[in-house]
Amino acid sequence: MTGVFMGALIVLTISIMMLVIRVVKGPTTPDRVVALDAIGVLLIAIIAVLSMLLSTYAFLDVIILLAILAFIGTVAFAKFIERGVIIQHDRNK
């Protein structure tokens, strides 16, 4: 069973390396933001496989935490690209 988990980890690592290439040479900022969001999702998958490999429940909180943080970070980046400000004082003004 360990071999299956190691194989999954290798595949996920290769995917993250390809996404890092997209982050480095992405021509526009939205390319980089989407690549960073996908890296966050793949990190979640890596933590899930690692917690199966180490046979522990201790990392399951980290998974939901990373999902929340990746979502909020992506929303903040998207709002910065669209409006130029992240937190407005009054949006109807």
Q: According to the binding rule CB under 8 A, does residue 72 interact with other proteins? A: yes
List the structure tokens of 15: 């995917």
Burial of 87 (0-12, 13-18, 19+ CB in 10 A): exposed
Q: Which of 3, 7, 87, 74 has the alpha carbon at shortest distance from 40?
A: 74
Minimum separation from the CB atom of position 23 to other proteins (A)? 22
Q: According to the binding rule CB under 8 A, does residue 65 interact with other proteins? A: yes
Shorter beta-carbon distance to other proteins: residue 25 or 57: 57
Which residues here bind other proteins, judged by CB under 8 A?
58, 61-62, 64-65, 68-69, 71-72, 75-76, 79, 83, 86-92
